[in-house]
Amino acid sequence: MGLTDPGQKSSAEDRARRVREMFAKISPRYDLLNHLLSANIDLRWRRRAVRKLKPLLTKDARVLDVGCGTGDLSIELFEKTAAQVTGIDFCRPMLTLAQAKAPRLAFIEGDALRLPFADASFEALTIGFALRNLASVEDGLGELLRVLKPNGVVAILEFSQPVGGLFRRLVGFYNRCLLPRIGGLLSGSRGAYEYLPDSILKFPNQETLAGMMRAAGFEDVRFENLSGGIAALHTGRRR
């Protein structure tokens, strides 16, 4: 979806505002709930993304973590690689928490759909569980490609489609029935934890996202399933 039509533009802005307000509201409990609701598996997923990028990152390579939230992926990149890491997010309360956790890291406020960087600024990009929240996945991918240097690599970590019928039904039951209850109780925002499974269901599956990355202009697009496809790690390179 391009954002040229005025009607589309205002609905995209509305959606962005709602997403920003939702994360602001749950920010104090975001880390706790992430780890609790995933039984800490989210930490393994972020580590996997960083391990995948690490061999490609020379000393002082510039890496942007888009939709960095409270900074867990940025911090993992900072601690495990010699890259210069910047985190960007459009929700200030999430960034404030990130900055408190890692005072030496650069976190800036900004929109993933209008990144405040020149074309070809970064050797690598990460985006963890944020692409699903953008008003337009296509526009988000286009913007990621724009700020990547030639030969630069993007790593997209996102919830996906569990593989296998029974496992998919079990994960679906957990997402639909348990997650909103537990998440709602502990965060005080049941809506946010109803939005989560809903947004996962609406998000393109592994193959479709890989196709969208190719259509956006990424090359060498690959993905691996994490925890049976509950999440997936997609990578792609700018030519």
Give the Cα separation of 14 and 21 in Å (integer): 11
User: Helices 190-202 and 6-37 meet at what angle, rounded to 10?
Assistant: 110
Where are any strands of DSSP class E within 8-83?
62-66
Q: How many residues does the chain have?
A: 239
CB of residue 42 to ligand SAM, shortest distance in Å: 7
Report the SS3 class of residue 118.
coil
Give the Cα separation of 139 and 162 in Å (integer): 26
Burial code of 136-162, b = ≥16 C-beta within 10 A, e = fewer?
bbebbbebbbbbbeeebbbbbbbbbbb
From 124-132, 141-149, 172-180, 209-217, span contacting ligand SAM (CB under 6 A): 124-132
Q: One symbol per residue from 20 to 59: x for binding ligand SAM (CB under 6 A), - otherwise; what is it?
A: x--x------------------------------------
Q: Minimal CB distance to ligand SAM: which residue? A: 69
From 55-63, 108-116, 143-151, 221-229, span contacting ligand SAM (CB under 6 A): 108-116
Q: Which is nearer to ligand SAM, 2 or 164 (CB)?
A: 2
Chosen residue from 8, 11, 99, 111 binding ligand SAM by CB under 6 A: 111
Closest by CA to 68, choosing from 35, 25, 30, is 30
C-beta separation of 1 from 8 below 8 A: yes
Asked if residue 194 binds ligand SAM (CB under 6 A), the reply is no
Chosen residue from 49, 57, 61, 134 binding ligand SAM by CB under 6 A: 134
CA-based Rg of the chain, rounded to a whole angstrom? 17
Asked if residue 90 binds ligand SAM (CB under 6 A), the reply is yes
Chosen residue from 91, 156, 216, 230 binding ligand SAM by CB under 6 A: 91
From 47-55, 89-97, 169-177, 214-222, span contacting ligand SAM (CB under 6 A): 89-97
Tell me the site size for ligand SAM, rule CB under 6 A: 21
Residues of this chain that bind ligand SAM (CB under 6 A): 16, 19-20, 23, 67-69, 72-73, 89-91, 94, 111-113, 128-130, 133-134
